[in-house]
């Protein structure tokens, strides 16, 4: 009986070949799974960044207005509103005299990209994007650098809108920190924008610009800051934020003066209703957004906030619907390379 049981066990025992095949199949499945995860992850990474410096806390998810800085034959801001299905293109002259972050001083916009590229760690595109964001007072979600196409970007854009498949060849010659999903979501959406929903503006032709001669004799274009904010709010405000009309409080938790005013300006230019600005006794390394869960909250959280598991202790209380607490990270965004 014992010999018979042993013979039966040997027959049922898996062979080494079978075990090897199973192990190989499992290994192949793990490799395929790893490659799939890597591919899906790459869809949310910058496609072809042009700078060694990349600051993108979050990607555009199709909700809210997306503003993209375009450096081509001229300077452009491409602003798409997915809810109104409208497209705004703002042209900005090279001679526009702007403050450049990271203590570079004031430069003409046409020089900013080269200025950033001259750094030991090239940061031209990132510097260009942040310069426009800080001076216009609107969030810039990404950049596209196109220095190979000799025709105007306006013509290129019209071609891309008429035939989205042209985006494949366009992508080959540009540098962008938009992810694959952001890029295709944006430009495929532009195809559906009606011609009467497309507005093209030229900042150089507006009443808020004036020519100024610098000490070295060069001529630059100065901007009327107060009028600029009215202009930006008129054309770039997010209608959904305006319609919600939630009250917003902005706190500066750092020792750096003027930080809350800068953030409040950006929020108001987006259509937000800032009801007060204050300094906080608390000190935070990372900015956070607290308050009523809403569309406005989600947008502000994507721009300023962090996903925190618990609320920090001893934060100031406020009756505003949403409270933004600015930390060191917001200061470093424009002051640290």
Structure confidence by residue, pLDDT tens digits, 231-241: 999 999 999 99
In a domain? residue 1: no
280 shares a domain with 169: no
pLDDT, residue 105, reads 94
The CATH number that applies at residue 69 is: 3.30.420.590
In a domain, 5, yes or no: no
pLDDT at 309: 47
Contact 289, 322 (CB under 8 A): yes
Residue after which a domain boundary falls, among 205, 236, 267? 236
Same domain assignment for residues 218 and 296: no
Looking at the domain assignment, is residue 2 inside a domain?
Answer: no
218 and 254 together in one domain:
no
pLDDT for 125 beyond 50? yes
Q: Kindly state whether residue 143 falls inside one of the protein's structural domains.
A: yes
pLDDT at 54: 60
Q: How many domains does the chain have?
A: 3
**pLDDT tens across 85-118, in order?**
999 999 999 999 999 999 999 999 999 999 999 9
Three-state helix/strand/coil letters over the chain = CHHHHHHHHHHHCCCHHHHHHHHHHHHHHHHHHHHHHHHHHHCCCEEECCCCCCCCCCCCCCCCCEEEEEECCCEEEEEEECCCCEEEEEEECCCEEEEECCCCEEEEHHHHHHHHHCCCCCCHHHHHHHHHHHHHCCCCCEEEECCCCCCCHHHHHHHHHHCHHHHHHHHHHCEEEEEHHHHHHHHHHHCCCCHHHEEEEEHHHCCCEEEEECCCCCEEEEECHHHHHHHHHHHHCCHHHHHHCCEEEEEECCCCCCHHHHHHHHHHHCCCEEEEEEECCCCCCCCEEEECCCHHHHHHHHHCCCCCCCCCCCCCCCCCCEEEEECHHHHHHHHCC
Q: How confident is the model at residue 53 (pLDDT cuts 50, 70, 90)?
A: low
Residue 289 in domain: yes
Answer with the one of 214, 236, 258 that is the final residue of a domain: 236
Mean pLDDT of 200-204: 95
CB 178 within 8 Å of CB 70: no
Pick 177 or 317 by higher pLDDT.
177
Q: Are residues 169 and 246 in the same domain?
A: no
Give a yes or no: residue 252 inside a domain. Answer: yes
pLDDT band at 13, cuts 50/70/90? low
User: What's residue 135's pLDDT?
Assistant: 96
User: Domain limits at 40?
Assistant: 15-44
Same domain, 217 and 250: no
* Mean pLDDT in residue range 25-53: 66
For the stretch 130-187, pLDDT in tens is: 999 999 999 999 999 987 777 889 999 998 888 878 888 888 888 999 988 888 889 8
Whether this prediction's pTM lies above 0.85 is answered by no
């Amino acid at each position: 009986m014992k010999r018979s049981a042993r013979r039966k066990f040997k027959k049922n025992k898996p062979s080494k070949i079978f075990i090897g095949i199973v192990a190989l199949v499992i290994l192949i499945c793990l490799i395929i799974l790893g490659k799939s995860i890597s591919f899906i992850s790459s869809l949310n990474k910058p496609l072809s960044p042009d700078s060694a410096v990349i600051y993108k806390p979050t990607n555009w998810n199709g909700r809210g207005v997306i503003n993209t800085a375009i450096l081509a034959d001229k300077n452009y801001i491409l602003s798409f509103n997915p809810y109104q299905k409208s497209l705004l293109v703002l042209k900005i002259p090279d001679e526009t005299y702007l403050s450049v972050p990271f203590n570079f001083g004031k430069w003409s916009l046409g020089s900013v990209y080269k200025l950033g590229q001259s750094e030991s760690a090239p940061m031209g595109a990132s510097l260009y994007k942040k310069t426009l964001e800080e001076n216009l007072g609107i969030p810039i979600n990404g950049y596209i650098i196109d220095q190979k196409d000799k025709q105007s970007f306006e013509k290129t854009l019209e071609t891309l809108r008429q035939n989205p498949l042209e985006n494949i060849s366009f992508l080959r010659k540009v540098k962008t920190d938009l992810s694959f999903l952001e890029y295709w979501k944006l430009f495929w959406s532009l195809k559906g924008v009606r011609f009467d929903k497309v507005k093209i503006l030229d900042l150089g032709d507006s009443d808020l610009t004036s020519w100024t001669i610098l000490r070295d004799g060069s001529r630059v274009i100065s901007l009327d800051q107060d009028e600029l904010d009215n202009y930006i709010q008129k054309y770039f405000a997010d209608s959904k934020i305006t319609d919600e009309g939630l009250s917003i409080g902005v706190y500066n938790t750092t020792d750096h003066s003027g930080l809350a005013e800068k953030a409040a300006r950006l929020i108001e230019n987006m259509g937000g209703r800032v009801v007060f600005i204050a300094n906080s006794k608390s000190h935070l390394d990372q900015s956070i957004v607290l308050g009523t869960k809403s569309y406005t909250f989600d947008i502000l959280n994507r721009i300023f906030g962090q996903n925190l598991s618990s609320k920090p202790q001893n934060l100031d209380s406020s009756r505003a619907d949403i409270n933004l607490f600015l930390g060191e990270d917001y200061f470093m965004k424009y002051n640290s390379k």
